[in-house]
Structure 1
């Protein structure tokens, strides 16, 4: 099909209609009836479980951590040793608690979370490091680049742990299996499995905690498609989330992949990870085959070193600069923001992409009505807003990629909000290299593996090394227990999974009735932003306030029980439901983890009661800026409205 741009001669209405028709065709190619089940559950697979092994234990960043015993008790058990867990701990320490109060539980053998597991060559943050890297103002650290590379982000995690005396508070090599509220002693009983050091023996044990805080990572656990013949391939293979430098040569800090010089390398996947990997393996490999199901939308990045003079003059120029910059970024990405005079501090491809608020919500949603006319006008506005952006990015492919056929196959035909947008200055350029070949599967995916390589449409592509760049286990659906990989039972035997299935409700996206002293960070009920760290900072401040303020009001040394009332969480959830129509543009998206590989659209054919139930799982529809403002106003009222506090 020719580019719609060629057929419309500047008629924007006709162009929009033709582009949307193209979007629909391309989406249909990629829909699979099996949805998420097209992927292997690595947890349950003896054959593929090794893809998720911690191959970095004993390497740089590993720490001995807490060796748990069966009767250990902690005030706080934080699930997740990434930036989220660390920032929550820091905010609580700043509120008056001690480092010794914490056990920070993680399956990894060190801090970092996403940045512990992901160490592939070319890894960098896709959001400006000045707003993404946490606690820069408090640590006094200046990132080396506008978009920090992976090893530097892991260094910041360890810097934070050291500065707040948390280096020995990590319960590493540990997974939470069960969390059960004990009403008699008013604490959580936690079933854990910990890999002991140095023996490597796995030990099951129980500990207890006054408070549990869960923060599952977004990009830690590998996802693998079910491809016939995976067990037949005789070459080396690994997932990008467990990059094997023993195979490729080099290291994360020095990615000289010398072992690939005489190798044919295949990489399956062209999402946000592959965008960063492909230029690096192309630089070193004899031959590279890039197997593509769906092309990514790739805008320019504008990577550059941080200028110390500009840093002091224009970035870290006053107290509170990082939160101000985070708030400015969020406001600039909120379509419908009426502040035309606001300075765009970050001024990158994110902040000039307001239509992405189709995924995160925004101020215009407040004026929406649940009528076909109102929703239709809103969707047309979003698609029109996105069209110029999408056409420019497709035009960029033509400008960069020399081979016309390859360029056509690298164009993204879906609205910009349907998949995580990508930004890179070398990815498209890599397809001009003589040793790089795009194998476009036109939405189908590869057919099978053989002992020698990858097969698509009867052609075998022989490879010596196969890299799976196929993403991560879906992070956006389910309760804190599902996302954390454990079971949770609250008051009166209430199962969290059942509550989420039957009557999901939260207060502020951080608390839920029936599960006292149990805190989490959405995704249901919170405000979303492309900058996850802005969300972490806002929610951690809020949770630290609730806990510390509740304990202050207890008036003594008694243990405090914190729990939202049913009425309060229902009122919050009704706000979520009311503004859920703001996410209507997500319907009809090409399959991705955002919509559970298309499964989420099935709700459109479900009975009204099922649709109403699904709406309760949404995010704050008015956007991140409004969410933060709403939480701040609630705290400023000073009455802990909707939170029941009991001293026991």
Structure 2
């Protein structure tokens, strides 16, 4: 096939997952791979999200590769631009940048019976192995609001921010009170002439405790790598303890709820506003917001909390479910992402159908990484591979270890490698059983962690980060078809 690139491994997505795998491949001496990125730069989430106040809600020393520590983070919670710089620098310093193809959005990927044919906006490729590292927070969820196209003023999603937007003197509406909203609202309050926050469901909020690292701390972490590793381990261990509350273990969940309520009562003195901000579902059911700034912003005289959903938009105005009408000049959508139904799944065709068809009952994968019917394909940061209490980077590194083990097996034994249907079903049953009594399914809320059609917890691993690594870090060929000792389909 003239004009078609041929590689051993094609990686789709150049965020933490894709870059992490590419770096590990390079360090092992494997250079026969391509990194296909649809955008104009690497960085994934941290390239796309540039709204004022964007930062990580996992401490910076833990939200970085263990094999590429950064001892000089500026703050306990790194700003988004700093994380983007970390990833961009890693791509260059680790020799990965020459393997990146920018503007190469995957249009179609098909298993031929021998390899993968991948069509992109920047050319076509054939690869023995396809790794989907597109992530979960890539496709903004734009609410289907009557009249939105007639609004007339700027409409911005937090993940598609226009850096030229100036809220000074404008009447601005913000839709949402989740993690992104909690960061952007305090940056808009005081600059906008009036800020209206549309709250469909209140969020549980706990103190963030962010601060700059001192010069002495940064110097110590730089000069003493053991001190930086110990600091990272302390953060990890503290985060791991939070799984007990998500599994509704007492007194852990009661202590977490009390901490959030104390934070609300301390920061919001008006009992009426306080009542409107207290959730009616169990803490942890939805993503918990970390913020020391959200409540003071909502308590300002020039900020209006509209505690009902935005239902319609017209020229220069928006109407809420309460019936109240708010005149606005600009609208900010902090409405999250399509998480449980990934658009890329429709573009990937395996032996018998598309990945979207396979995932019609909710995303699933053996070891959260391999999918029956899709030989020599692996998914990073996909089904049940994230956490509601600890660092996603830790999970990604676990999956990278698994994929590297699979690639080593392919080099030794040949292929293709396809996990059995029985193995995938058994894994999903184990995950579903472990999730059944967690706060995500028993907390009385609707969240983006749970597949709307099946009611399954498909985004999160329902246990500790350590338990995920214990189960899924090492590749074992036994559950794969066509290998010695493989389970039957």
- Same-fold call, TM cutoff 0.5: yes
TM-score by length of 1: 0.67
Deviations 1:545-598 (A, max 9, x none): 2212431x24xxxx65333345544554453354343447513532221235xx
Q: How far apart, CA to CA, are the structure 2 residues paired with 1:281 and 1:502?
A: 40
1:575/1:331 Cα in 2 relative to 1: closer, same or farther (>3 Å)? farther
- Residue in structure 1 matched with residue 407 of structure 2 by the alignment: 547
- Residue in structure 1 matched with residue 450 of structure 2 by the alignment: 595
Would you say the 8 A contact 1:355–1:385 is kept in 2?
yes
Alignment counterpart, residue 514 of structure 1, candidates 373, 379, 387: 373
Q: How does 1:383-422 map to 2 (within 5 A)?
A: 385-422=252-289
Q: How far apart, CA to CA, are the structure 2 residues paired with 1:574 and 1:291?
A: 38
Deviations 1:11-45 (A, max 9, x none): xxxxxxxxxxxxxxxxxxxxxxxxxxxxxxxxxxx
Alignment counterpart, residue 262 of structure 1, candidates 165, 169, 176: 169
Give, in angstroms, the shift of residue 141 of structure 1: 4.6
Alignment counterpart, residue 84 of structure 2, candidates 129, 139, 154: 154
Deviations 1:279-329 (A, max 9, x none): 11113222211121112212111111123533565798556965x766665
Would you say the 8 A contact 1:95–1:544 is kept in 2?
no
Would you say the 8 A contact 1:211–1:518 is kept in 2?
yes
- Residue in structure 2 matched with residue 357 of structure 1 by the alignment: 246
Correspondence 1:272 to 2:179: yes
Q: How far apart, CA to CA, are the structure 2 residues paired with 1:387 and 1:427?
A: 23
Q: How far apart, CA to CA, are the structure 1 residues paired with 2:61 and 2:172?
A: 35
Alignment counterpart, residue 97 of structure 1, candidates 30, 52, 66: 30
Would you say the 8 A contact 1:139–1:160 is kept in 2?
no
Q: How far apart, CA to CA, are the structure 2 residues paired with 1:578 and 1:400?
A: 39
Would you say the 8 A contact 2:345–2:354 is kept in 1?
no
SS state at 1:594 partner: coil
The number of residue pairs the alignment matches comes to 480
Q: Which runs of 5+ in 1 are unaligned?
A: 1-68, 195-204, 249-259, 336-352, 359-378, 604-613
Q: How does 1:103-114 map to 2 (within 5 A)?
A: 103-114=34-45
Would you say the 8 A contact 1:216–1:483 is kept in 2?
no
SS state at 2:399 partner: helix
Give, in angstroms, the shift of residue 151 of structure 1: 0.6
SS state at 1:245 partner: coil
- Residue in structure 2 matched with residue 623 of structure 1 by the alignment: 464
- Residue in structure 2 matched with residue 300 of structure 1 by the alignment: 207
Q: Which runs of 5+ in 2 are unaligned?
A: 484-489
Q: How far apart, CA to CA, are the structure 2 residues paired with 1:133 and 1:512?
A: 27
Correspondence 1:164 to 2:94: yes
Give, in angstroms, the shift of residue 489 of structure 1: 2.5
Correspondence 1:126 to 2:57: yes
Q: How far apart, CA to CA, are the structure 2 residues paired with 1:244 and 1:524?
A: 31
Larger radius of gyration: 1
Give, in angstroms, the shift of residue 119 of structure 1: 0.1
Q: How far apart, CA to CA, are the structure 2 residues paired with 1:240 and 1:527?
A: 21
Correspondence 1:576 to 2:431: yes
Q: How does 1:208-607 map to 2 (within 5 A)?
A: 208-248=126-166, 260-311=167-218, 317-318=224-225, 322=229, 329=235, 331-334=237-240, 353-358=242-247, 381=249, 385-441=252-308, 445-456=309-320, 457-473=322-338, 475=339, 477-478=340-341, 482-491=342-351, 493-501=352-360, 506-521=365-380, 523-524=382-383, 526=385, 528=387, 530-551=390-411, 553-554=412-413, 560-566=415-421, 568-583=423-438, 586-587=441-442, 589-596=444-451, 599=452
- Residue in structure 1 matched with residue 486 of structure 2 by the alignment: none
Q: How far apart, CA to CA, are the structure 2 residues paired with 1:320 and 1:542?
A: 29
Between Structure 1 and Structure 2, the one with more helix by share is 1
1:308/1:536 Cα in 2 relative to 1: closer, same or farther (>3 Å)? farther
Give, in angstroms, the shift of residue 511 of structure 1: 1.6
1:501/1:227 Cα in 2 relative to 1: closer, same or farther (>3 Å)? closer
**RMSD over aligned Cα atoms:** 3.0
Q: How far apart, CA to CA, are the structure 1 residues paired with 2:446 and 2:422?
A: 36
Alignment counterpart, residue 144 of structure 1, candidates 53, 63, 74: 74
Give, in angstroms, the shift of residue 408 of structure 1: 1.9
SS state at 1:123 partner: coil
Give, in angstroms, the shift of residue 104 of structure 1: 1.6
Deviations 1:414-460 (A, max 9, x none): 2121111111121111133332222222xxx1232221222234433
